[in-house]
Amino acid sequence: MSYIRSALLIGKNDSVDFHGAMMPDAIVFDMSSPIDEPSVSATLENKIDQSKGDVVSSYHVRFPIGASHDLRVKLYPIFSENIDAVWIAGISETQQVRDADVEIRRLEMEHGIKPGTISLIPELNSVGTISELDGMLTAVDRVAAIALDLDSVYADLVVTNSGSSDDEFVQRHILAEVAMKVASQNLLLVVTNLDTHLSGEKIKMIANTGGTGILTQDRDSVASLNHEFTLSSEVIDRAQTVVDQWSNNATRAQEGGVTLQAFMRATHIVGLANRVDAG
Protein backbone atom coordinates (compact mmCIF):
# COMPACT_ATOMS: atom_id res chain seq x y z
CA MET A 1 0.00 0.00 0.00
CA SER A 2 1.21 3.51 -0.80
CA TYR A 3 2.34 6.02 1.81
CA ILE A 4 -0.53 8.03 3.34
CA ARG A 5 0.33 11.60 4.29
CA SER A 6 -3.11 12.91 3.39
CA ALA A 7 -6.34 10.90 3.23
CA LEU A 8 -9.45 12.78 2.14
CA LEU A 9 -12.84 11.43 3.18
CA ILE A 10 -15.51 12.11 0.57
CA GLY A 11 -19.17 11.27 0.10
CA LYS A 12 -21.15 10.21 -2.95
CA ASN A 13 -21.78 13.80 -4.07
CA ASP A 14 -18.21 15.04 -3.67
CA SER A 15 -15.91 15.60 -6.63
CA VAL A 16 -12.79 13.50 -7.16
CA ASP A 17 -11.19 16.13 -9.37
CA PHE A 18 -7.80 16.88 -7.82
CA HIS A 19 -4.60 18.32 -9.27
CA GLY A 20 -1.01 18.94 -8.21
CA ALA A 21 -0.37 19.76 -4.56
CA MET A 22 -4.08 19.35 -3.79
CA MET A 23 -3.92 15.64 -4.68
CA PRO A 24 -4.42 13.50 -1.55
CA ASP A 25 -2.41 10.31 -1.20
CA ALA A 26 -5.64 8.42 -0.55
CA ILE A 27 -9.25 9.14 -1.47
CA VAL A 28 -11.44 7.48 1.16
CA PHE A 29 -15.07 6.91 0.20
CA ASP A 30 -17.47 7.22 3.11
CA MET A 31 -19.76 4.18 3.32
CA SER A 32 -21.31 5.02 6.68
CA SER A 33 -24.65 6.34 5.43
CA PRO A 34 -27.53 3.99 6.29
CA ILE A 35 -29.79 5.70 3.78
CA ASP A 36 -30.28 4.21 0.29
CA GLU A 37 -27.12 2.13 0.53
CA PRO A 38 -27.46 0.43 -2.91
CA SER A 39 -27.56 3.87 -4.55
CA VAL A 40 -24.55 5.05 -2.52
CA SER A 41 -22.59 1.94 -3.47
CA ALA A 42 -23.43 2.31 -7.17
CA THR A 43 -22.46 5.97 -7.20
CA LEU A 44 -19.12 5.38 -5.49
CA GLU A 45 -18.37 2.41 -7.75
CA ASN A 46 -18.88 4.64 -10.79
CA LYS A 47 -16.65 7.35 -9.33
CA ILE A 48 -13.84 4.85 -8.77
CA ASP A 49 -14.14 3.27 -12.22
CA GLN A 50 -14.34 6.58 -14.05
CA SER A 51 -11.46 8.32 -12.31
CA LYS A 52 -9.01 5.48 -11.60
CA GLY A 53 -6.91 6.27 -14.63
CA ASP A 54 -6.94 10.03 -14.16
CA VAL A 55 -5.43 10.45 -10.69
CA VAL A 56 -2.56 8.88 -8.78
CA SER A 57 -4.31 8.67 -5.41
CA SER A 58 -5.11 5.27 -3.98
CA TYR A 59 -8.78 4.43 -3.46
CA HIS A 60 -10.08 3.32 -0.07
CA VAL A 61 -13.53 2.69 1.41
CA ARG A 62 -14.47 3.31 5.04
CA PHE A 63 -17.21 1.48 6.96
CA PRO A 64 -18.42 1.62 10.56
CA ILE A 65 -17.93 -1.60 12.51
CA GLY A 66 -20.74 -4.12 12.31
CA ALA A 67 -21.26 -7.85 12.01
CA SER A 68 -19.03 -9.57 9.48
CA HIS A 69 -21.96 -10.25 7.14
CA ASP A 70 -22.78 -6.51 7.19
CA LEU A 71 -19.28 -5.77 5.89
CA ARG A 72 -19.77 -8.23 3.06
CA VAL A 73 -23.17 -6.75 2.14
CA LYS A 74 -21.75 -3.22 2.01
CA LEU A 75 -18.46 -4.08 0.35
CA TYR A 76 -19.68 -6.52 -2.31
CA PRO A 77 -21.33 -3.95 -4.68
CA ILE A 78 -18.14 -1.87 -5.00
CA PHE A 79 -15.51 -4.58 -4.55
CA SER A 80 -12.92 -4.63 -7.34
CA GLU A 81 -9.19 -4.58 -7.99
CA ASN A 82 -9.43 -0.77 -7.95
CA ILE A 83 -9.94 -0.75 -4.18
CA ASP A 84 -6.62 -0.45 -2.38
CA ALA A 85 -7.74 -0.56 1.25
CA VAL A 86 -10.74 -1.02 3.54
CA TRP A 87 -11.05 1.10 6.70
CA ILE A 88 -13.27 -0.14 9.52
CA ALA A 89 -14.09 2.55 12.07
CA GLY A 90 -14.81 1.62 15.66
CA ILE A 91 -13.04 -1.72 15.79
CA SER A 92 -12.65 -2.72 19.43
CA GLU A 93 -11.51 -6.36 19.42
CA THR A 94 -8.77 -8.31 17.70
CA GLN A 95 -11.30 -10.91 16.56
CA GLN A 96 -13.08 -8.23 14.54
CA VAL A 97 -9.86 -7.69 12.59
CA ARG A 98 -9.67 -11.43 11.88
CA ASP A 99 -13.33 -11.53 10.83
CA ALA A 100 -12.83 -8.62 8.44
CA ASP A 101 -9.78 -10.31 6.97
CA VAL A 102 -11.79 -13.47 6.29
CA GLU A 103 -14.59 -11.58 4.53
CA ILE A 104 -12.19 -9.53 2.40
CA ARG A 105 -10.27 -12.70 1.46
CA ARG A 106 -13.48 -14.41 0.38
CA LEU A 107 -14.37 -11.45 -1.81
CA GLU A 108 -10.87 -11.34 -3.30
CA MET A 109 -11.12 -15.00 -4.27
CA GLU A 110 -14.61 -14.56 -5.72
CA HIS A 111 -13.39 -11.65 -7.85
CA GLY A 112 -10.20 -13.34 -9.02
CA ILE A 113 -7.97 -11.01 -7.00
CA LYS A 114 -4.85 -12.38 -5.35
CA PRO A 115 -5.61 -12.88 -1.63
CA GLY A 116 -3.97 -10.21 0.50
CA THR A 117 -3.97 -7.58 -2.25
CA ILE A 118 -6.43 -5.26 -0.51
CA SER A 119 -5.18 -3.75 2.74
CA LEU A 120 -7.11 -3.43 6.00
CA ILE A 121 -7.00 -0.34 8.22
CA PRO A 122 -8.61 -0.72 11.67
CA GLU A 123 -9.70 2.64 13.10
CA LEU A 124 -9.55 3.01 16.89
CA ASN A 125 -11.83 5.45 18.71
CA SER A 126 -11.90 4.47 22.40
CA VAL A 127 -9.57 3.85 25.33
CA GLY A 128 -10.38 0.15 25.41
CA THR A 129 -9.06 -0.40 21.90
CA ILE A 130 -5.57 0.72 22.92
CA SER A 131 -5.21 -2.37 25.12
CA GLU A 132 -6.17 -4.50 22.10
CA LEU A 133 -3.70 -2.84 19.76
CA ASP A 134 -0.83 -5.32 20.14
CA GLY A 135 -3.09 -8.16 19.06
CA MET A 136 -4.55 -6.19 16.15
CA LEU A 137 -1.13 -5.33 14.79
CA THR A 138 -0.13 -8.97 14.44
CA ALA A 139 -3.51 -10.64 13.89
CA VAL A 140 -3.37 -10.70 10.08
CA ASP A 141 -0.86 -9.71 7.41
CA ARG A 142 -3.47 -7.58 5.69
CA VAL A 143 -3.22 -4.76 8.26
CA ALA A 144 -1.13 -2.05 6.58
CA ALA A 145 -1.94 0.88 8.84
CA ILE A 146 -3.75 1.89 12.00
CA ALA A 147 -6.12 4.86 12.06
CA LEU A 148 -6.49 6.65 15.38
CA ASP A 149 -9.42 8.93 16.17
CA LEU A 150 -7.34 10.89 18.64
CA ASP A 151 -10.07 13.31 19.71
CA SER A 152 -12.51 10.47 20.47
CA VAL A 153 -9.95 8.51 22.48
CA TYR A 154 -9.08 11.65 24.44
CA ALA A 155 -12.77 12.36 25.12
CA ASP A 156 -13.21 8.78 26.30
CA LEU A 157 -10.27 9.13 28.68
CA VAL A 158 -10.69 12.63 30.13
CA VAL A 159 -14.03 13.32 31.81
CA THR A 160 -13.14 16.54 33.64
CA ASN A 161 -12.82 20.09 32.36
CA SER A 162 -9.30 20.94 31.26
CA GLY A 163 -7.42 23.69 29.52
CA SER A 164 -6.14 23.59 25.96
CA SER A 165 -2.54 23.04 27.09
CA ASP A 166 -3.65 20.00 29.09
CA ASP A 167 -5.59 18.71 26.09
CA GLU A 168 -2.51 18.74 23.86
CA PHE A 169 -0.33 17.24 26.58
CA VAL A 170 -2.63 14.23 27.04
CA GLN A 171 -3.27 13.81 23.31
CA ARG A 172 0.45 13.81 22.65
CA HIS A 173 0.94 11.00 25.18
CA ILE A 174 -1.91 8.95 23.72
CA LEU A 175 -0.50 9.40 20.25
CA ALA A 176 3.04 8.58 21.34
CA GLU A 177 1.96 5.31 22.96
CA VAL A 178 0.09 4.19 19.86
CA ALA A 179 2.84 5.41 17.52
CA MET A 180 5.51 3.39 19.32
CA LYS A 181 3.50 0.18 18.91
CA VAL A 182 2.60 0.84 15.29
CA ALA A 183 6.13 1.84 14.33
CA SER A 184 7.53 -1.33 15.92
CA GLN A 185 5.56 -3.27 13.28
CA ASN A 186 6.64 -0.90 10.48
CA LEU A 187 3.08 0.16 9.76
CA LEU A 188 1.53 3.55 9.06
CA LEU A 189 -0.34 5.57 11.70
CA VAL A 190 -3.02 7.87 10.29
CA VAL A 191 -4.81 10.20 12.70
CA THR A 192 -8.52 10.77 12.01
CA ASN A 193 -9.69 14.38 12.24
CA LEU A 194 -13.17 14.84 10.76
CA ASP A 195 -14.96 17.38 12.94
CA THR A 196 -12.93 20.54 12.72
CA HIS A 197 -10.53 22.47 10.53
CA LEU A 198 -7.00 21.38 11.32
CA SER A 199 -4.74 23.99 12.85
CA GLY A 200 -1.13 24.14 11.78
CA GLU A 201 -0.07 23.58 15.38
CA LYS A 202 -2.02 20.33 15.66
CA ILE A 203 -0.71 19.05 12.34
CA LYS A 204 2.84 19.67 13.54
CA MET A 205 2.13 18.00 16.88
CA ILE A 206 0.84 14.88 15.14
CA ALA A 207 3.76 14.81 12.70
CA ASN A 208 6.28 15.27 15.54
CA THR A 209 4.73 12.54 17.71
CA GLY A 210 4.80 9.61 15.32
CA GLY A 211 1.80 10.15 13.08
CA THR A 212 2.48 9.49 9.40
CA GLY A 213 -0.63 11.24 8.04
CA ILE A 214 -4.15 12.49 8.70
CA LEU A 215 -7.64 11.56 7.47
CA THR A 216 -9.61 14.76 6.94
CA GLN A 217 -12.68 16.18 5.22
CA ASP A 218 -10.93 19.52 4.72
CA ARG A 219 -9.75 19.68 1.10
CA ASP A 220 -7.90 22.91 1.77
CA SER A 221 -5.54 21.14 4.20
CA VAL A 222 -4.31 18.50 1.73
CA ALA A 223 -1.32 20.48 0.45
CA SER A 224 -0.23 21.28 4.02
CA LEU A 225 -0.52 17.63 5.05
CA ASN A 226 1.51 16.45 2.07
CA HIS A 227 4.22 18.93 2.97
CA GLU A 228 4.24 18.35 6.74
CA PHE A 229 4.31 14.55 6.58
CA THR A 230 6.91 14.21 3.85
CA LEU A 231 9.94 12.41 5.24
CA SER A 232 12.96 14.65 5.76
CA SER A 233 16.05 14.11 3.62
CA GLU A 234 18.10 13.52 6.78
CA VAL A 235 15.86 10.67 7.91
CA ILE A 236 15.90 9.10 4.44
CA ASP A 237 19.69 9.39 4.11
CA ARG A 238 20.22 7.86 7.55
CA ALA A 239 17.91 4.95 6.71
CA GLN A 240 19.52 4.44 3.31
CA THR A 241 22.95 4.24 4.97
CA VAL A 242 21.73 1.48 7.28
CA VAL A 243 20.21 -0.43 4.35
CA ASP A 244 23.43 -0.11 2.34
CA GLN A 245 25.59 -1.25 5.26
CA TRP A 246 23.45 -4.31 5.83
CA SER A 247 23.14 -5.15 2.14
CA ASN A 248 26.88 -4.89 1.56
CA ASN A 249 27.90 -6.98 4.56
CA ALA A 250 25.31 -7.95 7.16
CA THR A 251 27.88 -9.45 9.51
CA ARG A 252 30.03 -6.35 9.51
CA ALA A 253 26.96 -4.15 9.93
CA GLN A 254 25.92 -6.13 13.01
CA GLU A 255 29.42 -5.86 14.41
CA GLY A 256 29.09 -2.10 13.95
CA GLY A 257 25.91 -2.05 16.01
CA VAL A 258 23.22 -2.35 13.33
CA THR A 259 20.52 -4.75 14.49
CA LEU A 260 18.10 -6.70 12.33
CA GLN A 261 15.28 -4.57 13.74
CA ALA A 262 17.15 -1.40 12.75
CA PHE A 263 17.67 -2.74 9.24
CA MET A 264 13.98 -3.63 8.89
CA ARG A 265 12.95 -0.21 10.15
CA ALA A 266 15.36 1.51 7.75
CA THR A 267 14.07 -0.60 4.87
CA HIS A 268 10.54 0.46 5.75
CA ILE A 269 11.47 4.16 5.78
CA VAL A 270 13.31 3.95 2.45
CA GLY A 271 10.32 2.14 0.99
CA LEU A 272 7.98 4.89 2.17
CA ALA A 273 10.19 7.54 0.60
CA ASN A 274 10.30 5.66 -2.70
CA ARG A 275 6.52 5.32 -2.73
CA VAL A 276 6.08 9.07 -2.26
CA ASP A 277 8.56 9.75 -5.10
CA ALA A 278 6.80 7.23 -7.34
CA GLY A 279 3.46 8.91 -6.64
Name the domain boundary from 196, 213, 230: 230
What is the pLDDT, as a whole number, of residue 67? 56
Residue 1 resides in a domain? no
pLDDT higher than threshold 90 for residue 204:
yes
Residue 226: name the closest of 203, 255, 194, 250 by CA. Answer: 203
What CATH number does the domain containing 45 carry?
A: 3.20.20.60
Q: Which domain holds residue 239?
A: 231-279
Q: State whether 276 and 220 are in the same domain.
A: no
Q: State whether 49 and 116 are in the same domain.
A: yes
Q: State whether 143 and 271 are in the same domain.
A: no
Residue 133 resides in a domain? yes
What is the pLDDT, as a whole number, of residue 56? 62
What is the pLDDT, as a whole number, of residue 58? 86
Q: State whether 11 and 142 are in the same domain.
A: yes
Name the domain boundary from 230, 252, 270: 230
What is the pLDDT, as a whole number, of residue 35? 43
Q: State whether 210 and 269 are in the same domain.
A: no
Q: State whether 129 and 259 are in the same domain.
A: no
Q: State whether 222 and 245 are in the same domain.
A: no
Please write the tens of the pLDDT for every residue from 155-185. Answer: 888 866 655 556 888 899 999 999 999 999 9
Please write the tens of the pLDDT for every residue from 58-111. Answer: 889 998 886 556 778 888 888 888 899 999 998 989 999 999 999 999 999 999
Q: State whether 146 and 250 are in the same domain.
A: no
pLDDT higher than threshold 60 for residue 279:
no
Looking at the chain, the whole-number percentage of residues with pLDDT higher than 70 is: 81
Residue 145 resides in a domain? yes
Q: State whether 201 and 246 are in the same domain.
A: no
Residue 222 resides in a domain? yes
Total number of domains in the chain: 2
Q: State whether 210 and 76 are in the same domain.
A: yes
Q: State whether 41 and 159 are in the same domain.
A: yes
Considering 20-29, 44-53, 187-196, the range whose residues carry the highest mean pLDDT is 187-196
What is the pLDDT, as a whole number, of residue 52? 57
Residue 198 resides in a domain? yes
Q: State whether 156 and 179 are in the same domain.
A: yes
pLDDT higher than threshold 50 for residue 46:
yes
